[in-house]
Amino acid sequence: MGDVSYRPLIEDMTWSYSRLNSFESCPYAWYLRYILEEKEEPMFYASYGSFIHRLIERYYSGDLPKEEMPTAFLLGFSSEVEGERPPQSTVVKYINAGREYLENFEPFPFEKRGVEEEIHFDVNGANFVAFVDFIGERDGKLAVIDNKSRELKPRSGRKTPTLKDQELDDMLRQLYLYAHAVKQKYGELPSLLCFNCFKNRQFIEEPFDQKAYEEALDWAGRTIETISAEEDFRPYIDYFHCRYLCGYHRDCCYAQGG
Ligand code: SF4
């Protein structure tokens, strides 16, 4: 790093929301993942989310009946959820949250149009790929749905946005990029963007907003430009993020307390 330009390599990349967003979390982790292509250790929280995600996908693919979902979760938890465990009380909370969600599982209130659809699309000439968890239709209008373990809340509706509203807006960038992908594949924009937050059992429906859509595309373009111009890939050190979310924390020379 330092006197080497990775611009040609970076400009040739196929982008995704997570490839952009992970740079904002820690440029050094991004460098390890996408430039050096170093292998990451599986981490508990991400692995837990992926496991529930796979169970929902299996239900929609006709491979797992609704009434068998809680059992499949409990039987598979110890082998499917990888990574060093957080404190036992946290593990119990996560098991209970997953079990309760799956015991009360309700299919999304849309007709199925696509599950785990891989869509290749472009944003202002840059190549992108999206894996959209669920594309649905209601009253002739499309919706995109993303499964999240993160505990988002529906918009407060307050005049001054709350921190949770801000968090929701940040996360919606992902769904606006997916909306762009859907437009290129289906020829129309979705009218609803939804998060299925399975851990706190909130299904959030946000109406499509043209301004937020344009801002998300603009953010994608600016972030690609920032990454392309980057030379130092400095670490952003945050104890919880490094210790519990980053799969490089054991080998990272910057990590604290790992
Ligand atoms: S451990 Fe922390 S500083 Fe190191 S790569 Fe991961 S997030 Fe970045």
CATH number (domain holding residue 142): 3.40.1350
Q: Report the atom number in ligand 1 closest to the C-alpha of 249.
A: 1
Pocket-forming residues, ligand 1, beta carbon under 6 Å: 26, 28-29, 235, 237, 241-242, 246, 248-249, 252, 254-255
Q: Report the atom number in ligand 1 closest to the C-alpha of 255.
A: 1
Residue 33 CA to ligand 1 center (angstroms) comes to 11
Is residue 172 assigned to a domain?
A: yes
Token readout for 158 is: 């307050």
Token readout for 47 is: 């692995």
Query: CB of 182 within 8 A of CB of 193?
Result: no
Q: Where are the alpha helices (DSSP H) in 26-128?
A: 27-30, 44-60, 69-80, 88-103
The total domain count for the chain is 1
Rounded to whole angstroms, the Cα distance separating 73 from 167 reads: 28
Torsion over CA: 230, 231, 237, 241 (sign): positive
Is residue 9 assigned to a domain?
A: no
Residue pLDDT, tens place only, 159-171: 999 999 999 999 9
Q: Is the pTM of this model over 0.85?
A: yes
Backbone angles phi, psi at 143, to 5 degrees: -140, 145
Please list the ranges in the chain whose pLDDT falls under 50. Answer: 257-258
Residue pLDDT, tens place only, 187-222: 999 999 999 999 999 999 999 999 999 999 999 999
pLDDT value of position 258? 45
Residue 34 CA to ligand 1 center (angstroms) comes to 14
pLDDT value of position 53? 96
Is residue 91 assigned to a domain?
A: no
Q: Which domain holds residue 171?
A: 111-224
Is residue 214 assigned to a domain?
A: yes
Strands 141-148 and 126-138, by their bridges, are antiparallel
Is residue 257 assigned to a domain?
A: no
Is residue 195 assigned to a domain?
A: yes
Mutate to test the pocket of ligand 1, among 22, 36, 241 (most ligand atoms within 8 A of CB): 241
Look at ligand 1, atom 2, and give the residue with the nearest C-alpha. Answer: 242
Q: Indicate the length of the chain as a whole number.
A: 258
Mutate to test the pocket of ligand 1, among 24, 36, 237 (most ligand atoms within 8 A of CB): 237
Look at ligand 1, atom 7, and give the residue with the nearest C-alpha. Answer: 242
Q: Which helix (H) or strand (E) holds 173?
A: helix 163-186
